[in-house]
Amino acid sequence: MPGSKRSTDTRLSALAENKAKPRKRIYIILGVVAAIVVYGLAVERTGVSLDEITSETRQASLVRIIRSLAHPDLVTYDNEESKTDVEYFVPCQSLEIPVAEGAMISVTPGCAEPGDQVTINGSGFEPRSEGRLEFVPDSEFSVTRQLGRYTADGEGNFSQIVEIPDRPSDNPQLIQAVISKRLGTWGNRVEVWTDSNENGVVDQGIIDADGFTITVAGVTIDIPAVALLDATREVVDFVTTGEPFIAIDGPAIGGGADPLEEDRDGTYVSAISGGAGAVEITISGEEGTDISAWRVAVYDGASGEVLDTAILGDQIELSPRVSETTHLTLEKIVDTVFLALVATTAGLMVALPLSFVAARNLMKDVSTTVIGLGLGLIAVPLGFWLGMEYVGLQRSVLGEPIVNVGILTALLVVGGLIVFYLGRLILFGAENRSTSTRFFRDVAMIIGLAAGLEGLAGLMTVVGTALREPFGGFGFIPGLFATLGEIGTVILPFVIGLLAIMVPMGLATRSAYWLVTNVSSRTRAAVGYLSMAISGAVVAALIGALINWLYEIENPTRTFWIPAAVGAVIGLYIANVGRRRGEVKIGLTIYYIARTIFNTLRSIEPLVMVIVFVVWVGFGEFAGSIALALHTAAALAKLYSEQVESIAEGPLEAVKATGATRLQSTMYAVVPQIVPPYIAFTMYRWDINVRMSTILGFAGGGGIGFLLQQNVQLGLYRAASVQMLAIAIVVASMDYASSRLRQRFT
Amino acid sequence: MLRVEHLTKVYDNGTVALEDVSFEVPDGQFLAVIGLSGSGKSTLLRCINRLVEPTDGKIFWNDEDITAAGQEDLRRIRRRIGMVFQHFNLVSRSKVVTNVMAGRLGYTNPSLALINRFSADDLDRALKALTRVGLDEKADSRADELSGGQQQRVGIARALMQDPDVILADEPVASLDPVLAHSIMQHLESINKEDRTTILCSLHFLDLVHRYSDRAIALFEGRLVFDGPPSEIDDARFKEIYGHEAERVG
């Protein structure tokens, strides 16, 4: 009966509800309690405190910082100052009210005790003018104490309450109003002479027969060190009177100071003498060199900290002018964009080939036989090792480093010809050749490549370096080739090692195929087990060697024999499993390994990686770009491979069905589908990298972040504001450009 | 001659797609494969060129065991077996002529793919194949600019590039309207008649089966339930093939 069935259902659900209700309530209450506990702890641990927010001093400094940030130090105006003063007695001696002349200020009461509040009244000032109020104590040094600021009203009057500092004296002291006026306008710029050492004379920084000597006053150090900077703030020379050290801050940050040495080439620091309160520095070089715009930075040779910097000559400059900070910021923001470009390009080149390996749909049906795997695993390290050894041999025969242009050209020509003819043979020749023909062809190809690439890289280095000077301001172009050549020379053994893998690999594949088709299954099984045991042992022994290198165990039993034995057993086990299944799913294994590596690398922020690379290559953009490149490679490889995974499978299936090889079907069915997303992701990544490189400087990775961090730490918020502005503009425009370009490609 | 012996395919998830299927196809025959969706037609065709690995059984092509072929041999066998797909499976961003030339990959040196080149001979062949399906003017268009019927003709041209002994057509007209369906079937028919190419074609509409095929085989839940001339498919047979609730429409 349908009716009775329904009523049973209702009863059952009602029962269930009744049962569930109290339990549900308990869960809700428990949930709320847990949430309160969690948030309570979170607020406590993050130090949320209203006392701090409302505290007056905190607010005052916040206002100061925000106002500084709102006034970026983009333009420098020189100021003309005029003073209006009045004599004043602290403590009180008579009750006569002091009066100043002209534009006048008066102080009530006429005298005060230290710490008293007094009122300064001004009249006859320029309407709405601003200035500062200062107290000039009776002292042999010219020092002033800032009392406050004033703003005159519409009639030129002001009234300001200030506190008298604790500087009692029997003589009258001065209270002054300093009116500061900006010199010049953009339409009408004014020349201003800056007397940097305040000796009242126009000094020119010109090296004469005795060199050029400058005294930096106000510093007392036991081990003075000096960095010499040219007009573009490049460190030209960095010497110390003590042991060599690395600068930890200042303009020469990351640079190493060497012991002072006289009689060198170029412009250099030839003498440093430290006395009480001053350091005397002599700079030598070609007579007549104008180094007025150069600077010296005085370092403490013991701590590596910068103490003071000084400009060598007096400057005549225009007011207003684009500020020093703006110049520096522009230079650094360009560096930052280039840093991001280099990192993106390097990461791209690594990620491109790897993305195919990390795509599940391409790798899932890559499988091999037990014998194929066994022989292949032996072939990989063997080929790599032989390739590396061959480059070593080539270099030891020809001498290292090879700088002889004749030898390099010969290498390039001979290697190039071998590669050209063999390449034509491989591309256009008959496909199926005997195993031995293939073997010799491959070996010859590797030899040709090793010679040709060695010649090419060497020539690029030698010629690029030689052309650096004659190219003058465009020296960076041959410089690029020289650098690429140097990189090529360094990575050549590695590249040839990787390429050389194909020689034993070809042999392994062919012998595996021959064994599978021509040998009885018993022999085949024996060879399979044996090769897997050996390759397992080899792989494990290599891992053992790595562990030994890391932990310096130096115990062959533990780092070689035991791993080798365990590896052999694992190899036998895999052989056994593979034999039962008929195939080994090598593709998925490679896929998982690649994915794990990418995910691990990606989870480490470049800011953290930079710390490691700074140790390796020193402070600066280079460390930053390596860290960023590594992160980019991992991130792009993942993004790319996900694109490969999301291609339409139909065309791939169709191309496969025509008898295409894996390489062919990838080139003709996969690549056309992934070009647009690859371009889009690369753009997106460059955009991200620009953003990231702006903060890499915080960890020593160069770029604009370095400037920003320095200025924030020194409390120069107006300078920091310029850098923030630059970052905002560059990031926003990159963001816009990349999104526009991405739209075009998707 | 194509010989299928006791072919069985069980997918990893346990689905039995084919169960002990055996039949022979003499050279030059137009064989229709019919059956409900999911009856194993596509799996059967894909086992023949091993896009799907058979679980058990053997397939012989002129007495060569396809199921036992190694990588190199499989490439050699596949290049003589053309395939036409329901969804055309063209690389949509590539040019029509590139799609057609891809049919020649089984014959070209694999290293050439590295520099993305085909020989002039292949280009010539591709233009001829396109002329044959009436699309020589569209050679430089992008594949996705073509209509469905045109795309399927490109698919046929691609198969022609392989100089095929057999063409496997997996529901070649299922995503086209009836008028276009006849045009595509006529192309296949002409290839069958002029080049003596064996054609295995899975079809849904019985009138197409009657009109074009020499012989039909029918699959029901992975088993071979009919093998004979299309004219023998009467109402009783029909119910066997398509189940007892099916109605005849065409």
CB A689 within 8 A of CB A38: no
Residues of A in contact with B162 (CB under 8 A): 658-659
Cα separation, A103 vs A126, in Å, equals 9
Residues of A with CB under 8 A from a CB of B: 426-429, 431, 513, 516-517, 648, 650-651, 653-661, 663-665, 667-669, 672-673, 675-676
Torsion sign across C-alpha atoms A563, A569, A572, A578: negative
SS3 A576: helix
* Range A334-353 average pLDDT: 91
Cα separation, A299 vs A239, in Å, equals 9
For residue A544, the surrounding DSSP H or E stretch is helix A521-551
Greatest mean pLDDT range, A84-98, A240-254, A359-373, B168-182:
B168-182
Q: Find the residue in B nearest to A653 (Cα).
A: B51
Cα separation, A57 vs B101, in Å, equals 77
Q: Which amino acid is at A404?
A: N
Is the pLDDT assigned to residue B165 strictly greater than 60?
Answer: yes
Cα separation, A163 vs A144, in Å, equals 14
A256 forms bridges with which residues in the sheet? A246
Residues of B in contact with A648 (CB under 8 A): 92
What is the structure's pLDDT at A194? 67
Is the pLDDT assigned to residue A730 strictly greater than 50?
Answer: yes
Token look-up 């195919």 returns A356
Cα separation, A624 vs A700, in Å, equals 8
Is the pLDDT assigned to residue A249 strictly greater than 60?
Answer: yes
Residue A651 to residue B76, Cβ atoms within 8 A: no
State the smallest CA–CA distance between residue A672 and chain B in angstroms: 6
Q: Checking phi first, is residue A252 left (phi over 0); if not, alpha (psi -120 to 50) or beta?
A: alpha
Q: Residue A169 is encoded by which pair of tokens? A: 């004296």
* Range A421-426 average pLDDT: 86
Q: Checking phi first, is residue A160 left (phi over 0); if not, alpha (psi -120 to 50) or beta?
A: beta
Q: Find the residue in A nearest to B86 (Cα).
A: A650
Closest CA to B100 of B55, B71, B141: B141
Cis peptide before A320 (omega within 30 of 0): yes
Q: Which amino acid is at A432?
A: N
* Range B147-162 average pLDDT: 93
Residue A661 to residue B110, Cβ atoms within 8 A: yes
Residue A431 to residue B103, Cβ atoms within 8 A: no
B108: contact with A, CB 8 A cutoff = yes
Is the pLDDT assigned to residue A14 strictly greater than 60?
Answer: no
Give the phi and the psi of residue A610 in degrees, each rounded to 5: -55, -35
Token look-up 């225009």 returns A318
Is the pLDDT assigned to residue B170 strictly greater than 90?
Answer: yes
Q: Is A16 exposed, middle or buried (0-12, 13-18, 19+ CB in 10 A)?
A: exposed
Closest CA to A213 of A121, A284, A131: A284
Pairing status of strand A235-240 against strand A256-259: parallel
Q: Extract long-range pairs of B233-239: CB within 8 Å, 24+ residues apart.
A: B233/B206, B233/B209, B238/B206
How many C-beta atoms surround the C-beta of residue A616 within 10 A?
9
Residues 147-176 of B with CB under 8 A from A: 155, 158, 161-162
Q: Checking phi first, is residue A232 left (phi over 0); if not, alpha (psi -120 to 50) or beta?
A: alpha
State the smallest CA–CA distance between residue A368 and chain B in angstroms: 10
What is the structure's pLDDT at A3? 44
B64: contact with A, CB 8 A cutoff = no
CB A493 within 8 A of CB A388: yes
What is the structure's pLDDT at A434? 78
What is the structure's pLDDT at A2? 44
A106 forms bridges with which residues in the sheet? A99, A121
* Range A135-141 average pLDDT: 79
Query: What is the C-alpha radius of gyration for chain B, rounded to an integer number of angstroms?
Result: 18
Q: Is A622 exposed, middle or buried (0-12, 13-18, 19+ CB in 10 A)?
A: middle
Token look-up 């600021």 returns A149
State the smallest CA–CA distance between residue B162 and chain A in angstroms: 7
What is the structure's pLDDT at B58? 92
Q: Find the residue in B nearest to A670 (Cα).
A: B91
How many C-beta atoms surround the C-beta of residue A195 within 10 A?
12
Q: Where are the beta strands (DSSP E) in chain B?
A: 2-10, 16-25, 30-35, 56-61, 64-65, 81-84, 166-170, 198-202, 215-220, 223-228
Residue B91 to residue A428, Cβ atoms within 8 A: no
B48: contact with A, CB 8 A cutoff = no
Is the pLDDT assigned to residue A555 strictly greater than 70?
Answer: yes
Higher-confidence residue of A458 and A194: namely A458
Residue B102 to residue A660, Cβ atoms within 8 A: yes
**Closest to B94 (Cβ–Cβ): which among A658, A665, A672?**
A672
Cα separation, A429 vs A304, in Å, equals 65
State the smallest CA–CA distance between residue A364 and chain B in angstroms: 13
Q: Give per-residue burial for B69-81: e unless 16+ CB within 10 Å, then b.
A: beeeebbbbbbbb
Residues of A in contact with B70 (CB under 8 A): 513, 516-517
Return the residue in B76, B85, B111 with the most chain A beta carbons within 10 A, the one to mutate for interface testing. Answer: B111
Residues of A in contact with B68 (CB under 8 A): none
Is the pLDDT assigned to residue B129 strictly greater than 80?
Answer: yes
Q: Number of helices (H) and strands (E), helices first, in chain A?
A: 21, 20
Return the residue in A509, A511, A664 with the most chain B beta carbons within 10 A, the one to mutate for interface testing. Answer: A664
What is the structure's pLDDT at B84? 95
What is the structure's pLDDT at A1? 41
Is the pLDDT assigned to residue A541 strictly greater than 50?
Answer: yes
CB A336 within 8 A of CB A690: yes
Residues of A in contact with B104 (CB under 8 A): 658
State the smallest CA–CA distance between residue A651 and chain B in angstroms: 4
Residue B111 to residue A426, Cβ atoms within 8 A: yes
Residue B85 to residue A661, Cβ atoms within 8 A: no
Token look-up 């009177």 returns A241
In this prediction, residue A725 has a pLDDT band, given cuts at 50, 70 and 90, of very high
Who contacts A224 (Cβ-Cβ below 8 Å, separation ≥6)? A240, A241, A272, A274, A279, A298, A299, A300, A301
Q: What is the pLDDT of residues A121-136, one digit of tens each?
A: 888 888 877 788 888 8
The packing angle between helices A476-500 and A435-468, to 10°, is: 160
Is the pLDDT assigned to residue A303 strictly greater than 60?
Answer: yes
Cα separation, A189 vs A113, in Å, equals 46
Higher-confidence residue of B115 and A507: namely A507
* Range A546-559 average pLDDT: 84
What is the structure's pLDDT at A631? 94
B223 forms bridges with which residues in the sheet? B220
SS3 A330: helix
Who contacts B185 (Cβ-Cβ below 8 Å, separation ≥6)? B172, B173, B208, B211, B212
What number of C-beta contacts closer than 8 Å exist between A and B?
104
In this prediction, residue A147 has a pLDDT band, given cuts at 50, 70 and 90, of confident
CB A274 within 8 A of CB A221: yes
Cα separation, A685 vs A633, in Å, equals 10
In this prediction, residue A633 has a pLDDT band, given cuts at 50, 70 and 90, of very high
The packing angle between helices A502-518 and A521-551, to 10°, is: 150
A257 forms bridges with which residues in the sheet? A245
Give the phi and the psi of residue A180 in degrees, each rounded to 5: -110, 125
Residue A659 to residue B79, Cβ atoms within 8 A: yes
What is the structure's pLDDT at B190? 93
In this prediction, residue A112 has a pLDDT band, given cuts at 50, 70 and 90, of confident
Q: What is the pLDDT of residues A175-193, one digit of tens each?
A: 888 877 778 888 888 877 7
Among A56-60, A727-731, B98-102, B164-168, the range scoring the smallest mean pLDDT is A56-60
Q: Checking phi first, is residue A217 left (phi over 0); if not, alpha (psi -120 to 50) or beta?
A: beta
Among A253-262, A309-318, A493-502, B31-40, the range scoring the smallest mean pLDDT is A309-318
Cα separation, A312 vs A589, in Å, equals 65
State the smallest CA–CA distance between residue A644 and chain B in angstroms: 14
B54: contact with A, CB 8 A cutoff = no
* Range B95-101 average pLDDT: 93
Is the pLDDT assigned to residue B9 strictly greater than 60?
Answer: yes
Tell me the pTM: 0.74
CA angle B60, B65, B69 (to 5 degrees): 140
Q: Find the residue in A nearest to B70 (Cα).
A: A513
Return the residue in A658, A663, A671 with the most chain B beta carbons within 10 A, the one to mutate for interface testing. Answer: A658
Q: What is the pLDDT of residues A39-87, one digit of tens each?
A: 999 988 888 777 777 888 888 888 888 888 888 888 888 777 777 777 7
Q: Find the residue in B nearest to A746 (Cα).
A: B93
In this prediction, residue A450 has a pLDDT band, given cuts at 50, 70 and 90, of very high
